[in-house]
Chain A
């Protein structure tokens, strides 16, 4: 081999080494930046497992329902936790960041309660013997569903002989109860929100395997149309821009309980299957920038739902913490070393 040729090979080697070194440095920088997650800020330790967590206006709200003892409604910020209300049962609540509404049972009596977010000025806006289901604040009104008892005292598979769900509402400031549509669904549900004058409602049939139906209700004339029905009891979300998201069991597996697909319907009314094969779960969240699906793996992953063409990516979360819920700009996480029944809670900004 000539000395000139040897020199050339030497040059190539140096070049290759430089490229490899550069690549390694870039990878290190990339990985480093991905791992630079914000430090969680403590907000305290819950007395029981937080349920139905909402993050609104810089505060976290949840309910606790111990097996023995009363249900509690909690508000928490980095400044501390506060018990807003207690009741024998406290199955649902909602807040717009100013007012807090919740459903409560004391003995055999059910109520829909309202207070400011600090718990002041609490009062009942409705009381009765039937459980109010899925309370929700929408455009200056409080909505919930009341189950109209079945006309016959025996469980039968004939829908007209089963209970149905009456949509009712009152103004947030107080006023007369207004009945809206009565949906031919038997068991449970919630109002999701209003978009372009229509109220969107999720209704559930509990019979095995159960079904979830989504309705669009004209609040003026009480007419309604069913948008879709899916098997099982699954969540849905109406975003601030009026897009409806819902889950359905995957049709590509023989075991629909292990995989989920996500659908979306925008203002045009076109239903779009967004993604499939997500781990079953779960819940849907809207943050300031994204819509996310949280599965029920341990720990759960939060999947950003984008376009149909792209498989969703998961939200980066700090190691040793388990995310519980998402707010507009923050996530509520718990220390993985604490039990879920009494979690040490932290808040982190979303990336």
Chain B
């Protein structure tokens, strides 16, 4: 028998060897000698527009808190508290002077009211169709726009019926519109083509007559008093010193259709330079402290617009990548589906309708307003 065949490894030596190996692995791991974390693109300067380095993601503010105000991701049709209410593709929203939120619950063919405490009731509407009368039996067809009048009335862009409807004292009436088309006049002489949004200054109604590519102006009796053509199909309208129009294809323009702000549309997704971040597809606007808030349905985020610049306050945008879905949290981590309507209560609450997630989300901007913004990483 050969001598080498009888050689046996000492158990002590084996244990020592294993122990030393484990210690080496631990040291390498802790020191990061092998798996070094790659530096973040944000601080590294994403400028320059290319060079093979993907641009950094654009994220909202940590100081903004995003919560679900009413409804849930599963579509449905139910009144009730925050957790029990259900919507089906909510679109336009508007606030009245008491802080009640009105929702154009489009696929439920209803107009809903949500109190500031989050309790949802049906204001008007029953099944899909067209019928005036008592609010609970009246019929709408895919309503997409609402506006709260100073007279206590709620005005509805009844999009699928191509009409403007009025809800007051439990009754629904047709203010203007008849069949799909284009015609001036008053009441049933007027024709709209898929009106998607409506706003009021208390004296006049401004309607985004979307497929007619026009803003129509009506008095409160339903008579057309003016309007103008827009370059593309408008989906949002806001009265703020002047009439501001939102159109997903052309951005935000002022009365007459001339560009109001340098907020271009980025058709290819986010550019590489963070300074160039732009709204991709704005669909609705509301007033904000010293500016406006806007929803972007393609970037799935809420923007603050001031002085010609757009800043993402909630949501996450990645170049060439859609980050959508429902997630509450701070504005840095929150996700949205396809956003449409937006409304600000004049204080600390911004409401947005998360249409594809079938719910109303609420943004608490108190910390932003009080200037306690942290520096973003």
Residue positions of A touching B, CB distance < 8 A: 151-152, 154-161, 184, 205, 207-209, 211, 213, 225, 228-231, 248-249, 251
**Bound form: Cα–Cα A159–B92 in Å:** 12
Q: Are B325 and A158 in contact (CB under 8 A)?
A: no
Q: Are B74 and A156 in contact (CB under 8 A)?
A: no
Measured CB to CB, the closest approach of chain B to A214, in angstroms, equals 12
> Given known contacts A156-B235, A158-B144, A209-B357, is B196 in contact with A231 (CB within 8 Å)?
no
Residue of A155, A205, A225, A231 with most partner-chain B CB within 10 A? A231
Measured CB to CB, the closest approach of chain B to A20, in angstroms, equals 48
Q: Are A156 and B248 in contact (CB under 8 A)?
A: yes
> Given known contacts A159-B107, A229-B88, is B248 in contact with A154 (CB within 8 Å)?
yes
**Bound form: Cα–Cα A350–B241 in Å:** 73
Residues from chain B with Cβ under 8 Å of A205 in the complex: 356
The reply on B272 being an interface residue by CB < 8 A is: no
**Bound form: Cα–Cα A94–B159 in Å:** 37
Sort A-B residue pairs by CB-CB distance and give the 3 closest, nearest first: A157-B355, A157-B338, A229-B75
- Per the 8 Å Cβ criterion, residues 207-233 of B in contact with A are 210-211, 233
Least CB separation from B129: chain A residue: A223
Residues from chain A with Cβ under 8 Å of B91 in the complex: 157-159
Least CB separation from A208: chain B residue: B324
Which residue of A157, A208, A225, A230 contacts B74 across the interface (Cβ within 8 Å)? A230
Least CB separation from B145: chain A residue: A158
Which residue of B73, B196, B355, B357 contacts A160 across the interface (Cβ within 8 Å)? B196
> Given known contacts A157-B89, A158-B159, A209-B73, is B127 in contact with A225 (CB within 8 Å)?
yes
Measured CB to CB, the closest approach of chain B to A149, in angstroms, equals 13
> Given known contacts A154-B249, A209-B325, A229-B88, is B74 in contact with A160 (CB within 8 Å)?
no
Pick 26 A–B contacts, CB within 8 A, sort by A.
Answer: A152-B233, A154-B281, A155-B298, A156-B338, A157-B89, A157-B91, A157-B283, A157-B339, A158-B235, A159-B89, A160-B159, A160-B160, A160-B194, A161-B235, A207-B337, A207-B338, A207-B356, A209-B325, A209-B326, A213-B75, A225-B127, A228-B76, A229-B75, A229-B88, A231-B74, A231-B75
Residues from chain A with Cβ under 8 Å of B249 in the complex: 154
Residue positions of B touching A, CB distance < 8 A: 73-76, 88-89, 91, 106-107, 127-128, 142, 144, 159-160, 194, 196, 210-211, 233, 235, 248-249, 281, 283, 297-298, 324-326, 337-340, 355-358
Q: Are B106 and A159 in contact (CB under 8 A)?
A: yes
Residues from chain B with Cβ under 8 Å of A158 in the complex: 91, 106, 144, 159, 196, 210, 235, 283, 340, 355
Q: Are A230 and B75 in contact (CB under 8 A)?
A: yes
Which residue of B74, B76, B281, B325 contacts A249 across the interface (Cβ within 8 Å)? B74
**Bound form: Cα–Cα A228–B194 in Å:** 26
Residues from chain B with Cβ under 8 Å of A229 in the complex: 74-76, 88, 107
Q: Are A208 and B194 in contact (CB under 8 A)?
A: no
Residues from chain A with Cβ under 8 Å of B235 in the complex: 156, 158, 161
Total A-B residue contacts, Cβ distance less than 8 Å: 95
Measured CB to CB, the closest approach of chain A to B300, in angstroms, equals 9
**Bound form: Cα–Cα A249–B74 in Å:** 9
Residues from chain A with Cβ under 8 Å of B297 in the complex: 155-157
**Bound form: Cα–Cα A228–B211 in Å:** 30
Residues from chain A with Cβ under 8 Å of B283 in the complex: 156-158
Least CB separation from B162: chain A residue: A160
Residues from chain B with Cβ under 8 Å of A249 in the complex: 74
Residues from chain A with Cβ under 8 Å of B144 in the complex: 158-160
Residues from chain B with Cβ under 8 Å of A156 in the complex: 235, 248, 281, 283, 297, 338, 340
Measured CB to CB, the closest approach of chain B to A40, in angstroms, equals 40
**Bound form: Cα–Cα A156–B75 in Å:** 18
Q: Are A160 and B142 in contact (CB under 8 A)?
A: yes
Measured CB to CB, the closest approach of chain A to B258, in angstroms, equals 22
Residues from chain A with Cβ under 8 Å of B127 in the complex: 225
**Bound form: Cα–Cα A157–B357 in Å:** 11
**Bound form: Cα–Cα A230–B264 in Å:** 37
**Bound form: Cα–Cα A225–B127 in Å:** 8
Residues from chain B with Cβ under 8 Å of A157 in the complex: 89, 91, 283, 297, 337-340, 355-356
> Given known contacts A155-B297, A157-B91, A159-B107, is B75 in contact with A211 (CB within 8 Å)?
yes
Q: Are A151 and B211 in contact (CB under 8 A)?
A: yes
Residue of A157, A161, A251 with most partner-chain B CB within 10 A? A157
Least CB separation from B194: chain A residue: A160
Q: Are B248 and A248 in contact (CB under 8 A)?
A: no
Q: Are A208 and B211 in contact (CB under 8 A)?
A: no
* Supplied contacts A158-B159, A229-B74, A248-B74, 12 more A-B pairs, CB within 8 Å: A156-B235, A157-B355, A157-B356, A159-B107, A159-B144, A208-B324, A209-B325, A209-B326, A211-B75, A231-B73, A231-B75, A251-B74
Measured CB to CB, the closest approach of chain A to B281, in angstroms, equals 7
Residues from chain B with Cβ under 8 Å of A230 in the complex: 74-75
Measured CB to CB, the closest approach of chain A to B154, in angstroms, equals 19
Q: Are A161 and B337 in contact (CB under 8 A)?
A: no
Measured CB to CB, the closest approach of chain A to B233, in angstroms, equals 6
Measured CB to CB, the closest approach of chain A to B81, in angstroms, equals 15
Least CB separation from B300: chain A residue: A208
Residue of B89, B144, B196, B248 with most partner-chain A CB within 10 A? B89
Residues from chain A with Cβ under 8 Å of B357 in the complex: 209
Measured CB to CB, the closest approach of chain B to A251, in angstroms, equals 8
**Bound form: Cα–Cα A207–B297 in Å:** 12
Residues from chain A with Cβ under 8 Å of B75 in the complex: 211, 213, 229-231
Residue of B211, B281, B325, B356 with most partner-chain A CB within 10 A? B356
**Bound form: Cα–Cα A161–B339 in Å:** 14
Measured CB to CB, the closest approach of chain A to B167, in angstroms, equals 19
Measured CB to CB, the closest approach of chain B to A23, in angstroms, equals 49
Least CB separation from B283: chain A residue: A156
**Bound form: Cα–Cα A249–B358 in Å:** 15
Residues from chain A with Cβ under 8 Å of B326 in the complex: 209
**Bound form: Cα–Cα A157–B249 in Å:** 14
Residues from chain A with Cβ under 8 Å of B88 in the complex: 211, 229
Q: Are A211 and B358 in contact (CB under 8 A)?
A: yes
Measured CB to CB, the closest approach of chain B to A119, in angstroms, equals 41
Least CB separation from A231: chain B residue: B74
**Bound form: Cα–Cα A112–B17 in Å:** 72
**Bound form: Cα–Cα A72–B63 in Å:** 55
Residues from chain A with Cβ under 8 Å of B74 in the complex: 211, 229-231, 248-249, 251
Measured CB to CB, the closest approach of chain B to A144, in angstroms, equals 23
Measured CB to CB, the closest approach of chain A to B91, in angstroms, equals 6
Measured CB to CB, the closest approach of chain B to A143, in angstroms, equals 21
**Bound form: Cα–Cα A87–B210 in Å:** 40
Measured CB to CB, the closest approach of chain B to A180, in angstroms, equals 15
